[in-house]
Amino acid sequence: MKPQFTSNLSLLCISICLLSTSIQKLSWFANALSLPPNTNSRRDFVVSSTTTISAVILSSKPWVANADMPMPLPNTEPRNVDVGGGFDLLRSDTTKMPLDVLYPPSMEGLWVCSRIPTSVEGDLFQAQEVWKALGGIESLVLTSKGTNKPETYLTRFLKSTEMPEDGVVNDRGFELVQRRKQSRAELLSSPQVTWTVDQPNVLKYSINNSNDKFTTLTVKSRTVELPSEQKAGFGFNELICIEEDRGGGEGASKMASLVGSNNKILRAAQIKRRYKRSYDDQGNRVVEGLEIIKTYRVLDGIAGIEFPTSTVKSQIRLTRPPSSPS
């Protein structure tokens, strides 16, 4: 009986200590609420404190979502790019760049563009995919052993009321349609292209004339070397976001939602062109240029523009069609 009595006594002591600690905490809580504790009856204080707290909780109006409350705006601030040389394709600020590339006024109208790839460096697959997305013919990408015939297609330059300077801009929609016509898949019907001269930084066209498969080309950064009478050279440098939506219909959309993919591919390409005006042997106006296209790896919408994955160099020559005035 002695061991059991000792054990019960120990439990009683522990219970008294815990009760004393609880009463001290309740007293401190009462002081914090400016409620003077009842020194005559600790039990009355505990009951009254519990009743007060319950009344406050029950009288509080629960928060209910209101349909009229404005939804929080999406975060449009540029993300912190930890990797040096990274460019955020999803939240880039395009308001400070020139609206479009300005060409000399004498280039207004139709021209015949001849483009010859002269070298390809780096990842051939990436170079080819971007080349095709920009409107190029699949077979024209230079290989290590093959030779290339030039791309030849019509292009057009027109005036833009959005440009403050005197000059013309390239009709990017017209040029892409003419360039894609060289592909065998595009011989029967032209691609559906959406582009306007007052919003020249976004071009969207269908892939193989499909309603749910399309490519969007968006200029994210641009610098321009303006033409002038003092110098014959001019050009530009653009960073383009290439978004390919592969579509696939309702079934593909359901599968994409299950696996966490939206069936879109994001690529980045830098296009540099430098032109020079001159004359041919017959005295006709020609415009010759060099083009460099670089591709970059894209991860989570960030393009690593410090190290290109491929580089394609081409020679460009613009001449007037026989029926067009020089």
What is the reported pLDDT for 134?
Answer: 93
CA-wise closest residue to 312 among 96, 127, 59:
127
- 101-105, 212-216, 268-272: range with lowest mean pLDDT: 212-216
CA-wise closest residue to 273 among 231, 243, 312:
312
CA angle 266, 153, 322 (to 5 degrees): 155
Which pLDDT tens digit goes with each residue over 285-299?
Answer: 999 999 999 999 999
Q: DSSP alpha helices (H): ranges in the chain?
A: 2-32, 42-59, 124-133, 172-180, 249-259
Q: Residue 279: is it exposed, middle or buried by C-beta count within 10 angstroms (0-12/13-18/19+)?
A: exposed
Which amino acid, one-letter code, is at 107?
Answer: M
Q: Please, are residues 122 and 311 in contact by the beta-carbon 8 Å criterion?
A: yes
Q: Report residue 202's pLDDT band, with 50, 70 and 90 as the boundaries.
A: very high
Q: Where are the domains of the chain?
A: 2-59, 86-319
What is the reported pLDDT for 23?
Answer: 59
Q: Please, are residues 170 and 157 in contact by the beta-carbon 8 Å criterion?
A: yes
What is the reported pLDDT for 209?
Answer: 63
Instruction: Determine the 3-state secondary structure of 185 from DSSP.
Output: helix
249 vs 240, more confident: 240
The tokens 């303006």 sit on which residue? 226
Question: What is the DSSP-derived secondary structure letter of residue 67?
Answer: T
What is the reported pLDDT for 205?
Answer: 93
Which pLDDT tens digit goes with each residue over 133-177?
Answer: 999 876 655 555 555 678 899 999 999 988 887 899 999 999 999
* List of residues 6+ apart from 273 with CB closer than 8 A: 235, 236, 289, 290, 291, 292, 316
Which pLDDT tens digit goes with each residue over 311-320?
Answer: 999 999 999 9
